[in-house]
Amino acid sequence: MTETRDDNVTWLTQEAYDRLKAELEHLSGPGRIEIAEKIEAAREEGDLKENGGYHAAKEEQGKIEARIIQLQSILRNARVGEAPRKAGVVGPGMTVTIKFEGDEEEVTFLLASREESGAPIDVYSPRSPLGSAINGKKIGESTSYTLPNGRSLAVEIIDAVPYGA
């Protein structure tokens, strides 16, 4: 399962597309019914101000609705297939190996969106500071990015191959 994004397109394998579509269908149908029943049952318990079950169910409902919107957006921009990738160039869907300046140890990860959280290796988002800095770079190139604390950190691209290759 691979999901990668560029600015306008979300690339999904058929497996990922089917999984997200099934999740959306469940949340939009049975999921909404289940949470409505929980809210109604909690409402029947009485005073809503001090009803923890009611407030928990309403919070869960909000999370379900937010996930429905997120899934609709992903699927609306989805293309099923493989993202265009070129070995040696960092991009979404690539397994990337880098080395941080001043550190001899190499770090390998998948550059993909968080929907790929089931990958057997670490996943870094192309939209993260590191992901944005290395996207489009070639093997042997160096670049730097800004850490959350404001400091800059240099990295060298050691390898970039399509995920699963």
Q: What is the C-alpha to C-alpha distance for residues 156 and 97, in angstroms, rounded to an integer?
A: 9
pLDDT digits (tens, 9 = 90+) for 105-117: 999 988 887 665 5
Whole-prediction pTM value? 0.55
When pLDDT is cut at 50, 70 and 90, the band that residue 4 belongs to is: very low
pLDDT digits (tens, 9 = 90+) for 16-63: 788 889 999 999 999 999 999 998 988 888 777 778 888 899 999 999
Q: What is the C-alpha to C-alpha distance for residues 109 and 100, in angstroms, rounded to an integer?
A: 13
Judge contact between 125 and 115, C-beta under 8 A.
no
The pLDDT of 3-20, averaged and rounded, is 66
Level-2 CATH architecture, domain 3-80 = Orthogonal Bundle (1.10)
pLDDT of residue 162: 83
- Give 89 or 87, the one with higher predicted confidence: 89
Q: Where are the domains of the chain?
A: 3-80, 94-162
SS3 at position 72: helix
When pLDDT is cut at 50, 70 and 90, the band that residue 1 belongs to is: very low
The secondary structure of 113-137 as a DSSP string is -GGGTTSSS-EE-TTSHHHHHHTT-
When pLDDT is cut at 50, 70 and 90, the band that residue 120 belongs to is: confident
Q: What is the CATH number of domain 94-162?
A: 3.10.50.30
The pLDDT of 97-108, averaged and rounded, is 91
